[in-house]
Amino acid sequence: MTQFSADSAAVTLCECFCRDGLQHEPTILGTGTKIQLIDRLSTIGFKRIEATSYSNPAVIPQFSDASAVLKGITRHEGIYYKATCPNPRAVQRAVADLEQGFGANEISVLISASDSHSQKNLKRSRADQWDNIRQMVESSGGRFRIIGTISVAFGCPFEGAVPMARVVEDAQRFQELGIQYVTLGDTTGMATPATTRRLFTEIMRGTSEVTPIAHFHNSRNTALLNYVAAYEAGVRYFDCALGGVGGHPHQIKYGGGYTGNACTEDLVGLFESMGIPTGIDKDGLLQVSRQCEEILGRQLDSHIARTGWNPLTAA
């Protein structure tokens, strides 16, 4: 594995447990528990936290308290608190909360790289969703940092291979809308290190004003390999979730119903052992890791939580 020097460029991790993680959980967490967890994440070094979603509560009841969560958290300067917005109505809710003084300062908007996934996940075609996204950007009025997310960028569970040119074109369309951050989502774990390097290289070549973000799932135990490949391709922003939880709404079972986000503890351990600084308090991270296991009532998929940090890594 490539070894990096101590002065290698640092990475920025977005902790997704509270949104992309919890959407997969049948147990509804209390609002106070979510607030306490986000506040803890804010103190151990995360500069981006996916706090909640403005999804329809009838579809994903886990986030029926989105406004209450955002109102209750303690904000820290320099941290982005993200809310997912699947449609124009969600952006309207985000704007209303922000105008009351407690909204998110970052939102994400979503396009699927395949029409089949768009119909399954969003109940509309890609063309219709692009119309939605244009409305969402307009109604946001420049109040948020917007993250454009491309789902199934590395392969679709319904259509198979996704043309790389289509993903690059989607990133270019986000850029044309003034969106400077674009996430490539490996929704059911189809990416490999080779396809990861190629796609991120093409994205950066074709979108000079876009900062790419990597979001890998560990469905086939390749997430960490793909993160290293993305880093080697020049990516410095990465999504992950404590314990490797989440991946898609609980009631959706494509990809065999097993996705799992990349595990935060293991990703931090890997980057730090390679000399790539994450800025995360490692002792604090393990404390939060144990708390997440207690919250969900089971052992989660973190190797570092069982073994501890690499003793050969410099403090």
pLDDT one-digit tens code per residue, 282-292: 999 999 999 99
What is the CATH number that goes with domain 12-307?
Answer: 3.20.20.70
Q: Which of 188, 197, 199 is nearest to 164 (CA)?
A: 199
Distances in Å between the alpha carbon of 60 and those of 71, 124, 250, 251? 20, 17, 9, 9
Tens of pLDDT, residue by residue over 95-127, are 999 999 999 999 999 999 999 999 988 899 999
**pLDDT score at 246:** 87
Tens of pLDDT, residue by residue over 142-163, are 999 999 999 999 999 999 999 9
User: Is residue 203 helix, strand or coil?
Assistant: helix
**pLDDT score at 219:** 87
Mean pLDDT value of segment 53-70: 95
Q: Per-residue pLDDT for 182 more than 50? A: yes
Mean pLDDT value of segment 210-230: 96
**pLDDT score at 252:** 56
Q: Cα 170 to the chain's mean position, in Å?
A: 18
Q: Would you tell me the crossing angle of helices 193-206 and 223-232 to the nearest 10 degrees? A: 40
User: Domain ranges in the chain?
Assistant: 12-307
Q: Per-residue pLDDT for 2 more than 60? A: no
